[in-house]
Amino acid sequence: MTRLSAQPLEPAAQDAAIQSNVVLVTGMSGGGKSEAMHALEDAGFFCVDNLPADLLLDFLRLEQQRGERRVAIAVDVRSAGSLPLLLPLFKQLRADGVAIRSIFFDANTETLMRRFSETRRPHPLRQEQNATSKDEGHRALLEAITLERELLAALRAESTVLDSSQLRPAQLRAWVRDLVVVDGNSLTLVFESFAFKHGVPSDADFVFDVRVLPNPYYERELRPLNGRDQPVADYLAAQPEVNLMLSQIGAFMAQWLPNFAADQRSYLTVAIGCTGGQHRSVYLVETLAQQFAHHGQVLKRHRELDAK
């Protein structure tokens, strides 16, 4: 018998839950959840870490009795015993009208292994506690990360994914603050620039490669600038290939956005990549964000520029 047999929230309680702005923070160990919780706490959220999934419904009811306040709840693989309850419960709460947003913090395996190595903290699923060699310890950590991905795969598919592989802590905190100020009940469109040489963002729903476009980097006076600077914008706006790429990406997104909204997607990331993430991809992101401003909720990110 599970907590899923509990009664749905009463209408008045549903309203209170909606006003409380509930954010569920989950994801891979080492993916950035701690930084996210710090950012949410600074933003005025009441934060609870490592809450067992089978206590989530009772906790939200208690919060409704306390009155209005924004709540952030971290649930992850440390609560492995109650983890199977989390996804059904999450869907039930949404069906009951609770405005709850799940943010899944991820990173590529290489980054996760490096972070655990640097902090010297054990992975919560690691079984090999007394490795006799560095290779054995490396293998045990890799197995733990692989297992965690398998356990959290279904929850990741239902969440807004934020890839922290290339993000500095300040970037991560800023992106989290952007996420929680938008309406979680409607589609948020995100345009993100990145450099292919640093990897493709794993949280991208669509990836467009604009490395085929004329590169301002090879213009001496434009090289130290970026795609937000007017001289670079003027240069790219004068290139027919750039305008064709913009029109085709724009037409594609305009065609399919209503379908994603109808599918009750809350978040859609369009990643635009060039070689260095400084000129072409930045210009296209800035231009597309302006073109789609009428959409309502549009965010823009520049992974490489924001890291400076």
Binding-site residue set for ATP: 27-34
What does the alpha-carbon distance between residue 72 and residue 65 come to, in Å, rounded to a whole number? 17
- Residues within the annotated binding site for GTP? 76-79
Q: End-to-end CA distance of the chain, in Å?
A: 52
Closest CA to 189 of 300, 280, 82: 300
Number of H helices, E strands in the chain: 11, 9
Sign of the C-alpha dihedral computed for residues 68, 72, 77 and 79 taken in this order: negative
Closest CA to 113 of 133, 134, 99: 134
Q: Residue 137 corresponds to which amino acid?
A: G
Instruction: For the beta carbon of residue 150, count every other beta carbon within 10 angstroms.
Output: 9
- Residues within the annotated binding site? 27-34, 76-79
Instruction: For the beta carbon of residue 1, count every other beta carbon within 10 angstroms.
Output: 4
